[in-house]
Amino acid sequence: MKKIFLSVFLLLSTQVFASEFHFPAYEKYQLPNGMTVYLLERHETPLINVKMVWKAGAVNDGKSFGLANFTADALFLGTKKYSKQELDEALEFYGASSSSSASSESIEASIQLNKKDWDQLMPLFKEVVMQPTFPKKEVAKRKAQLIDDLKQMKESPRSMIGREFASFIFAEHPYGNPVSGTEQSVAALSSAALKKFSEQYLQPGNAALIVAGDFVPREMKEKLAASFGEWKGSGKSVQAVSVSAPAFPVEARVLLVNKPDAHETTFMIGGKGITINDPHDVELGLANTILGARFTSWLNDALRVNSGLTYGARSRWNKYSTSGTFVISTFTKTKTSFPAIDLALKTYQRIWEQGIDAATLASAKAYAKGQFTPNYETSGQLADFMGGMFVYGYDESYVNDYFKRVDALSLSDANKLARKFFPKDALQFVVIGQATELREGLGKYGKVVEKGL
């Protein structure tokens, strides 16, 4: 395969369409119980996507890392009327896809179904989100699997590097909570803990139901009122999730994670980033396209194309409600660890040294616009975006204004913003590999702390 960047879709284009691409019309309203509803009608296929989203996540785990994630996961493990097996058999018989998951700041459960199966499947989904019972036996089984998954994840540096970085840079702050927990923290979770978490957070006043696909809005509203109008929840008032902005380390530090059988060194370098609603998000996204989010980006060009040090090098903004990080990541064989780290740093310095040139900015603008609209092609993608609207508070102007904002960015502003917001000092390094080969050389980047996987 040519590239590992499979999921790097950015933005779409051309003068011709610049003013024509808009987020499709949708309706938003609230049920008397406080649950928000988003409806978006599309008739390309007979599919309907239904997604319940809650404003809660791993930031609410406290020290019980993995609690939000396990609670989300366990929604499909049984409800008041249906056992796990009954849920699986019914949903799968009709070919519906279902999933539930948590991130740092959101929890969701969703299904995609054929509209003709609505009456068979919605009663089940309704129970999954409104009356999960977290059966002890099923929870114990899933717990064992989650712990095994966490063990297995340690076999893959690529799977570990992001969570190691988040907990290294955020330390005790909730954004550092590992979403899937640790072997020890998950082992301590119980059915009662999941139930308590769901009663606290998975409540109608804290939820949005998003329906996108092939339906008639008037009929859908009646169905939703009948299904979800009666949902009272636990009656507990939900505290709005408010996470204070974390402090960032003031000096450069290195976390060396020893993997004695590694043949490669996998590393991530970064620092303070921007929030999800940062007023410069589009512009800084564009600057990052140039630095490390497309094939011809500076980082990939230097580390892969020109030197063959790696199969791929990239950078990204990780954005949260009140904070964020910026990270560069790649991997290389153990022997070339230091040349690769040095080259990544040197390439990164281009932001402050040469800066962005006009031709590269023009190319990045075309690329960003050209890759934008496929992100809003399916009902599922549109439902995901509306979930983000509810959780993070942004709206469709992000999509509607995107081309305009990209076009409006001048070269001098691009450089000014990049120099101001990309973290220059106090960089944090996480390096996974053979400690015996790496230990000595890492000191030059900052104070080294070492741990096992």
Partner 1 sequence: MKIFVLEDHSIPSANMYVFWKVGSRNEYPGITGLAHFFEHMMFNGARKYGPKQFDRFMESQGGSNNAYTTENMTVYTDWFPSSALESIFDLESDRIAHLQFDDAMIESERQVVSSERSTGLENNNWSFMEEALLGTAFTAHPYAFPVIGFQSDIDNWSKQDLQNFFRSYYAPNNAVVVIAGDVSLAKVQQLANRYFAPIPGREPPRKIHTVEPEQLGEKRFYLHKPSVSTPHLWIVYHTPATPSSDTYALQLLSSILSAGESSRLYHHLVDDLQIANEVSAYIPNSFDPYLLNINAVAANGVSAEKLEKEILSVLQQVVQHGVTERELQKVKNQALMGFYQAMETINSKAEFVGMYENYFGGVQKLFTAPDEINQVTVADIQRVAQQYLKKSNRTVGILGNWEDK
Residues 339-378 that bind partner 1 (CB under 8 A): 362-364, 366-367, 369-371, 373-374, 376-378
Whichever of 171 and 362 has its CB closer to partner 1, that residue is 362
Residue 116, interface with partner 1 (CB under 8 A)?
A: no
Taking a C-beta distance cutoff of 8 angstroms, is the pair 391, 106 a contact?
Answer: yes
- Shortest distance in whole angstroms from residue 432 CB to partner 1: 10
- Shortest distance in whole angstroms from residue 132 CB to partner 1: 16
Residue 97, interface with partner 1 (CB under 8 A)?
A: yes
Residue 40, interface with partner 1 (CB under 8 A)?
A: no
Only one of the segments 32-40, 228-236, 259-267, 277-285 lies at the binding site for partner 1 (rule: CB under 8 A); that segment is: 259-267
Q: Hey, which residues between 207 and 236 contact partner 1 (CB under 8 A)?
A: none
Whichever of 30 and 306 has its CB closer to partner 1, that residue is 306
- Shortest distance in whole angstroms from residue 48 CB to partner 1: 11
Residue 305, interface with partner 1 (CB under 8 A)?
A: yes
- Shortest distance in whole angstroms from residue 328 CB to partner 1: 17
Taking a C-beta distance cutoff of 8 angstroms, is the pair 38, 386 a contact?
Answer: yes
- Shortest distance in whole angstroms from residue 49 CB to partner 1: 10
- Shortest distance in whole angstroms from residue 235 CB to partner 1: 32
The residue within the footprint of partner 1, chosen from 165, 331, 385, 445 (CB under 8 A), is 331
Only one of the segments 39-47, 61-69, 189-197, 342-350 lies at the binding site for partner 1 (rule: CB under 8 A); that segment is: 39-47
Q: Hey, which residues between 395 and 414 contact partner 1 (CB under 8 A)?
A: none
Only one of the segments 118-126, 267-275, 309-317, 407-415 lies at the binding site for partner 1 (rule: CB under 8 A); that segment is: 309-317
Q: Hey, which residues between 18 and 37 contact partner 1 (CB under 8 A)?
A: 20-21
* Parallel/antiparallel/unpaired status of strands 264-272 and 324-333: antiparallel
Q: Hey, which residues between 1 and 20 contact partner 1 (CB under 8 A)?
A: 1-3, 5-6, 8-9, 12-17, 20
**Residue 177: exposure state from Cβ atoms within 10 A (0-12, 13-18, ≥19):** buried
Of 210, 208, 211, 209, nearest in space to 47 by CA: 211
Q: Crossing angle of helices 136-153/191-201, nearest 10°?
A: 90
Phi, psi for residue 351 in degrees, rounded to 5: -55, -40
Taking a C-beta distance cutoff of 8 angstroms, is the pair 368, 285 a contact?
Answer: yes
Q: Could you identify the residue written with the tokens 């409806």?
A: 39
Q: Annotate 218-265 with three-state secondary structure.
A: HHHHHHHHHHHCCCCCCCCCCCCCCCCCCCCCCCCEEEEEECCCCCEE
Give residues with Cβ within 8 angstroms of 194, minimum separation 6. 67, 70, 71, 74, 134, 139
Taking a C-beta distance cutoff of 8 angstroms, is the pair 211, 218 a contact?
Answer: no
Whichever of 243 and 366 has its CB closer to partner 1, that residue is 366
Whichever of 185 and 321 has its CB closer to partner 1, that residue is 185
The residue within the footprint of partner 1, chosen from 120, 131, 159, 200 (CB under 8 A), is 159
Residue 154, interface with partner 1 (CB under 8 A)?
A: yes
Q: Hey, which residues between 261 and 300 contact partner 1 (CB under 8 A)?
A: 261-264, 294-296
Residue 315, interface with partner 1 (CB under 8 A)?
A: no
- Shortest distance in whole angstroms from residue 80 CB to partner 1: 20
Residue 145, interface with partner 1 (CB under 8 A)?
A: yes
**How many of the chain's residues bind partner 1 (CB under 8 A)?**
81
Helix (H, G, I), strand (E, B) or coil at 135: coil
- Shortest distance in whole angstroms from residue 122 CB to partner 1: 16
Taking a C-beta distance cutoff of 8 angstroms, is the pair 145, 180 a contact?
Answer: no
Rounded Cα gap, residues 17 and 14, in angstroms: 6
- Shortest distance in whole angstroms from residue 428 CB to partner 1: 22
Q: Annotate 298-363 with three-state secondary structure.
A: HHHHHHHHHCCCCCCCEEEEEECCCCEEEEEEEEEEHHHHHHHHHHHHHHHHHHCCCCCCHHHHHH
Number of H helices, E strands in the chain: 18, 12
